Amino acid sequence: MGKTDYLEQRFLNYIFNDAASASANDPRESELYIGLFSTIPTADDGTGGVELSGSGYTRVLVVQDGASNTFDDAAAAGIMTSLNAVVFPTATADWTTIVGAGIWNLSSAGDMLYFQALTGSAVTVNNGDTVRFNAGQVVVTED
């Protein structure tokens, strides 16, 4: 049985918005992080992927405090779109080529919740570069 657009949107709002108001028994993650892949996962369980590491790379916190959320559901049913730029730390040496992104529940290790290959070309990051996704460029869908 499939989900309706209404349920998809409710689920995305639940995951990405206002986690600060979650109760102790609420399974919602208190923090979410966006990370980058040099190899995109090959299975729905997230296996096969290789996340960047070292040279200044860290995952970026997704704000979900109800007042200044990183994501908004205004675009369409079943879609969350970034409201603000998502900016990674400056590379302190060349990074491996970026081919995708994912969302995790911890700043390192943890459980991956979503992943997606980049739209268009892979991204080369050289020493001193900063990876930036502008508002509207990070999109999460629920199907």
- Which tens digits make up the pLDDT trace of 78-91? 777 888 889 999 99
What is the reported pLDDT for 70?
Answer: 67
Q: Are 102 and 37 in contact (CB under 8 A)?
A: yes
Task: Specify the amino acid at residue 83.
Answer: L
Q: Are 97 and 123 in contact (CB under 8 A)?
A: yes
Q: How confident is the model over 70-125, as pLDDT tens digits?
A: 666 655 667 778 888 899 999 999 999 999 999 888 899 888 888 999 988 999 99
List, for residues 3-24, the tens digit of each pLDDT value: 677 777 777 777 776 555 555 5
Neighbours of 142 (CB within 10 A): 17
Specify the 3-state DSSP secondary structure of 113: strand
What pLDDT is recorded for position 93? 98
Report percent pLDDT > 70 for the chain.
Answer: 77
- 94 in Cβ contact with 125 (< 8 Å): yes
**At which residue do the structure tokens 């070292």 appear?**
54
Structure tokens at 61: 């916190």
Rg (CA), the chain: 15
- Rounded to two decimals, the pTM is 0.82
Per-residue pLDDT band at 135 (split at 50, 70, 90)? confident
Given a cut of 80, whether residue 51 has pLDDT beyond it is: yes
pLDDT value at residue 18: 58
**What is the reported pLDDT for 69?**
62
Residue type, 119: T
Contact 114, 53 (CB under 8 A): no
